[in-house]
Structure 1
Amino acid sequence: MKSRFGSTASKKVADINLSATLEQSVRFKRANASAEHWAKDNKNAIKSYNGFIEENGIFGDEFKTF
């Protein structure tokens, strides 16, 4: 397939693989969106857990020697 620049669509432009670059960018954006969605869905559980830790400390604190 010819692009408007006169080279094949899969050809590297200035040593940049455009297909791989786009794929990497999409993967990064999807991962970020997924992480944000997870944090939003679990906001109350995280808040509750952090409150528990503040009150009771973390598991095994009494056994630490450092």
Structure 2
Amino acid sequence: RFGDKYKQWNAAFDAGYAAALGKSLIILHQDEHQHALKEVDAAALAVVKEPAQVVQILRYVLTGTLPK
């Protein structure tokens, strides 16, 4: 998760490390961080703006249930 209250450099490092290990990423951030995180976003399987969207993605991956 990227945002004003989070340590951007730590989150970006963790995302880069996970991508290098071939791990799937769901990136959560607002539009104001879009340009700065373009490389991180490119490595992600999904980029979302709301925590609820992460829940929907994980629910689909785990159960095959689409949001209503």
Measured against the shorter chain, the TM-score band is under 0.3
Scaled by the length of structure 2, the TM-score of the pair is: 0.24
Scaled by the length of structure 1, the TM-score of the pair is: 0.25
Ranked by relative contact order (alpha carbons within 8 Å, sequence separation 6 or more), the top structure is 2
| Larger helix share, 1 or 2 | 1
Larger Rg: 1
